[in-house]
């Protein structure tokens, strides 16, 4: 199975403070890698480092098999799309103006979320939270990226909207895009994920294909992450 995005011995953090250490990650085209973990586990920091918004403290990131040290905007030019946990559109511009600036076909972006058609002349900052996330995801996918990184798409949204966004992510993966997803709605996200990594205590505590480790994951989630081993020993597949 080919790899579109990977991490080898990756340590992430801020300044000299490491948040998560020695991460081994692999994302293949057509598959969704879900990163789970309690608050403070380093999920968003890991995603920011994979995207190029943060420098790794150690280790390396691979994009399409090549080691990359370039910043976010250059990785975007290499086929990476990133949807942050906050707004992913320019809020002072209208939906239409955001679409004109998108890296791909505006009509294709709207085809992903036709409900945005009625708001084309509305400023993005005046959209509901769910509509803003739809716009951000549509903009990211419009350029037909090789890999999509998405952070907390569901933050503050109703379950119906969460399902709508996750369905779009699954459809993108089924079309051949590799996806790395950080998501607080773990059970919903597991329904569309192929592989999962559980971060705890600064390291990978559990990883593997969802189908193979589902029982272990359910046990951990039922315990509110309290069932994760303190050092992860013996838990990683």
Superfamily of domain 1-79+145-237: P-loop containing nucleotide triphosphate hydrolases (3.40.50.300)
Question: What is the predicted pLDDT for the residue at 105?
Answer: 80
CA distances from residue 220 to 20, 69, 227 in whole angstroms, order as listed: 19, 35, 5
Q: What is the pTM (predicted TM-score) of this model?
A: 0.91
Report domain extents, the chain. Answer: 1-79+145-237, 82-144
Question: What is the predicted pLDDT for the residue at 231?
Answer: 44
Question: What is the predicted pLDDT for the residue at 234?
Answer: 36
User: Are the C-beta atoms of 189 and 221 separated by less than 8 Å?
Assistant: no
Q: 50: closest CA among 144, 133, 149, 143?
A: 149
Cα separation, 184 vs 11, whole angstroms = 22
Tens of pLDDT along the chain (237 residues)? Answer: 589 999 999 999 999 999 999 999 999 999 999 999 998 899 999 999 999 999 999 999 999 999 999 999 999 999 999 998 876 788 899 999 998 887 778 888 888 899 899 999 999 999 998 899 999 999 999 888 999 999 998 888 888 889 999 999 999 999 999 999 999 889 999 999 999 999 999 999 999 999 999 889 988 888 888 767 544 433 444
Question: What is the predicted pLDDT for the residue at 228?
Answer: 73
């Amino acid at each position: 199975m080919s790899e579109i995005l990977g991490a080898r011995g990756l340590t992430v953090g801020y300044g000299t403070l490491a948040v998560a250490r020695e991460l081994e990650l692999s994302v293949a085209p057509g598959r969704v890698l879900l990163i789970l973990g309690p608050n403070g586990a380093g999920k968003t920091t890991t995603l920011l480092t994979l995207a190029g918004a943060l420098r790794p403290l150690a280790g390396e990131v691979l994009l399409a098999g090549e080691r990359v040290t370039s910043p976010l905007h250059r990785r975007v030019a290499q086929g990476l799309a990133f949807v942050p946990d906050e707004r992913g559109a320019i809020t002072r511009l209208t939906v239409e103006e955001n679409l004109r600036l998108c890296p791909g076909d505006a009509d294709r972006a709207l085809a992903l979320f036709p409900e945005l058609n009625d708001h084309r002349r509305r400023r993005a900052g005046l959209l509901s939270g769910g509509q803003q996330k739809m716009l951000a995801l549509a903009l990211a996918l419009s350029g037909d990226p090789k890999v999509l990184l998405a952070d907390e798409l569901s933050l503050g949204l109703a379950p119906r909207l969460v399902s709508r966004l996750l369905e779009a992510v699954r459809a993108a993966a089924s079309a051949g895009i590799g996806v790395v997803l950080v998501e607080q709605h773990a059970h919903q996200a597991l329904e569309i994920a192929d592989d999962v990594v559980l971060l705890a205590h600064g390291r990978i505590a559990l990883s593997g294909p969802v189908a193979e480790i589902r029982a272990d994951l359910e046990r951990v989630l039922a315990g509110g992450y309290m069932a994760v081993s303190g050092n992860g020993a013996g838990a990683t597949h």
